[in-house]
Every structure is written in structure tokens, then in C-alpha cells.
Structure 1
Amino acid sequence: MRILLSAAIAALVAAPALAQSPALPHVALETALGTITLKLEADKAPATVANFLRYVDEKRLDGTSFYRAMLVGEPGSFGLIQGGVQGDPKRLLPPVKHEPTTQTGLSNISGAISMARAAPGTATADFFIILGNLSSLDAKTEGEGDILGFAPFGQVVAGMEVVTAIQTAQTDPEKGKGAMKGQMLAKPIAIKTARRVAPPPPPEPEPAPAAEPEFDPSELPQP
């Protein structure tokens, strides 16, 4: 009796594919140094993403800037760039509730975009993009004081070279207060526009494996 491995493989290939979830929103930040494209994790951080998209859709980020660059070590290794409206009352919306990483499952790793804040629940429009693994900014499950960390809500999917260029722009040693002193850009990098963009097309499915040939057990090598 012949063993038909090809039939078993065909049955697996013919299994119905899982339904795909809706595409996540994408936003392009057109800056003076190039475009940074973001994928926003609306399924994991819905309140934070909705808040950010409202700023985008109402064009409240147009004409703002990246104004802070923190560099630790070699360019592009560790640090962050920060941008937003810098408290401009004409652009501000009410604060958004804090969605900690212990709730969202996201992390402050390289390319993540997170909300800048003072106390939890005070974030409005300012945000930062991370270079390197800064998961120390994630929420903690125990400890004293403010352990809720910073709230990432998306990821850079194109334009990290622009992020690095902003991070390495010249800073003013006299500008800034407290921990931000010396990290303020001498010439802020303009965010010309912030717009929703279409997500990239899904990757092409891999071709089905070639069918296994039929064979007779008697043809196998014998001990």
C-alpha cells in the first residue's frame, strides 16, 4: 500500500486561514529632516492612540517641532527625541488617561513612541521616540512612589534614520530646566505636518511547499 504524504500536506495547506484583524492606523510625521512613519497600537492602547489621532486629524501638530534630544553613548544607540506642542494653549486638548505597560503589554524599546507626562494622567500632546532599549521606563508591578512608567502607544516603521538625525542635532547647554537642561535643541526641528497614511501592503504569502512524491515502503533502504 502506498503512503501518500502529499495528501496529508495538501490537507494542511487547504485549512482555512485565520481571519485577519483590521489594519492598525499609521501616521506620517513630515519633519524638516525627513519623514517618520508610525504604526499606532490602537488595539493595545486605545485611549492613547485616540488622543494622538485627534491631534493629527485636527492638525494640531502641524507647525510644531521636535525640541529635545537626549543622547547616551554613540549616536543612535540610546536616548530619545521629544516633540509636541510645548504647552501651547491654543493646541492643547484635555489630558488622556494613563495606559501603563503592565496593561498594554507594550514596552519602551527602540523605535517606540510614548507620551511625555508629569504625573500619571497628565499627558496631552507631547511625545517622545526612543532609541535603544529603555524598558526601564516601563511600569513596575511593585515599589514606592510613581511606578506607572511612561505609556508607549506605537512604533516607528520607517524613518529611524530621521530620528537619529534629530537626536544628533546640536543642543544648547544653557537651555532647559532640571533633567532637561542641556538637552534642548539649539534649533528645534520643525514638524511640518502630521497625517494619517495608508498602512503598507501585507507581505506576500509564502508559496505552498512542493508536494511530496508518492513512494512505496518497499523502495526505502533496508537495514
Structure 2
Amino acid sequence: MTFIRSILAATVLVSAHPANAQDGPAITDPPEAEAPKTSLVVLETTIGDITIALEMERAPITAANFLRYVEEGRFNGTVCYRAMHLEWGEPPNGLLQCGTQNDPKRILPPIAHEPTNETGLSHVNGALSMARFDPGTATGDFSIMIKDQVGLDAQPNAEDPGQRPGFAVFGRVVGGMDVVQEIHAAPVDPDKGEGWLKGQMLAKPVKIVKAYRAPPLD
């Protein structure tokens, strides 16, 4: 595409020259494709704000579900409670998990799974992904990637059937990634959590005071 645009730009310059004024109208670059539609949400935590762009067009089911939790106040008073730290790569590396913790008074019915091989999204640094058990069980818990975690993407050809659906990415952090990293760096309680979650639970979870929609960025 860059090569084609370079040719078009050169053609415009030649056509605009007085010696070529009779050669016909100048050729212009084709219009840029519009960016996929997003909606902005702010998570106001006790240590700072995190601004998120929800992928309303590319992951419509998952993004709309998250937005409903925001608009109905279901995230207000919840916490960021889990910090998974990976030992490989340059730290910080892992993910931060927040949300309703399956509170029956807060959660909505589970939503259909939107795999990354269909949405075109990926678990890159700052991406938001739904926490779940089996595909189609996600409700009101989500994770924020710290560094690329593309192993969580859908892998339709994986030998392990459990890896094939991956997890559903539905947004990305566009402001306050430093806040995400600060929460992720908070001490964990080695005795909290069960099974593989043990040692990943924050000793003092950080509260989401309020979640709300924000105006588009300039």
C-alpha cells in the first residue's frame, strides 16, 4: 500500500505541473479507511484512572456486555484483585485481573465467546480480555495484559482442544497504563487463592470506585 501511494503521489505532482495542465484531472490518494468504532470508558480507581477503548465494532458482543456493566454501575465498588507475574521476559510481565468476582448480585447472564481469530484482535500489551471458565461463561471479570500475551489468542489448530478457543479480547488501555502497572506491582498474599491462583491474589485489592463512559479523545 505504501508503494502504491508513492506512485499515486508522484503522479499527482507530475499532473499538477503547468506542462501537463491539459493531461486531465490530478490523481489523488484514495480515502483512508475509517478506524473501527470504539467507545471510551474510565475506570476510576483509588490510585488513578484507567481509560479504555472498547472495540464496539470488532468485538460487539463482548464490548457491549462490558459497557452494560459500566452503565448499570455493576463495576462500582469492585476491585482489581489478581496480579499474575510471569518469570520470563523483562518485568513487568503478566496480567492484572479485576471485576465482579462472580458476585451473584452484580453479574449478568454469560455471553457468547468471540474468539480472536474471528475478531482480528490479539492479547497485546494493554489489551483487555474476558476472564472465563469454559467458552461462553464470561460475565463480569476481565484481565489487562501487561506485555504481549499472544498465547491467549485463539489457536484453532492446537493439539490441545482447550487452547483452540483462546480468550476474548474486547478493548485496550489508551490511558493510565502506569496505573495498571502500579496495581500489578502491589504485594500479593502467598496464602490467598486456591489451586493455580494461589500466590497471585493481591494482599490489598485496589478498588474501582466508579466506571463511566467518557467523551471521545480529540
Shorter-normalised TM range: 0.7 to 0.9
CA distances 1:59-117 after superposition (whole Å, capped 9, x unpaired):
10000000000122478531000000111111110001000011111111110000000
- What TM-score results when the alignment is normalised by the length of structure 1? 0.82
How many residues align? The count is 196
Task: Name which of 155, 159, 175 aligns with 1:158.
Answer: 175
Residues 1:144 and 2:153 are matched in the alignment: no
Task: Name which of 71, 87, 101 aligns with 1:86.
Answer: 101
- Tell me whether 173-182 or 73-82 shows the greater mean CA deviation: 73-82
CA contact (8 A) 1:29 1:35 kept: yes
Residue type of the alignment partner of 1:200: L
CA distances 1:116-171 after superposition (whole Å, capped 9, x unpaired):
00000000000000011110011111223222111110110111100100110010
Task: Name which of 2, 5, 9 aligns with 2:14.
Answer: 5
CA contact (8 A) 2:36 2:58 kept: no
Gaps of 5+ in 1: 202-223
The alpha carbon displacement at 1:33 in A equals: 1.3
Gaps of 5+ in 2: 1-12, 18-24
CA contact (8 A) 2:100 2:141 kept: yes
Query: Which structure has the greater CA radius of gyration?
Result: 1
Q: Which has the higher contact order (CA 8 A, sep 6+)?
A: 1
Residues 1:191 and 2:205 are matched in the alignment: no
Residue type of the alignment partner of 2:64: A
Aligned 1:66-145 pairs, distance under 5 A = 66-73=80-87, 76-142=91-157, 143-145=159-161
- Give the aligned partner of residue 38 of structure 1: 52
- What TM-score results when the alignment is normalised by the length of structure 2? 0.84
The alpha carbon displacement at 1:17 in A equals: 3.9
The separation in 2 between residues aligned to 1:96 and 1:68, in whole angstroms, is 22
Task: Name which of 182, 186, 193 aligns with 1:169.
Answer: 186
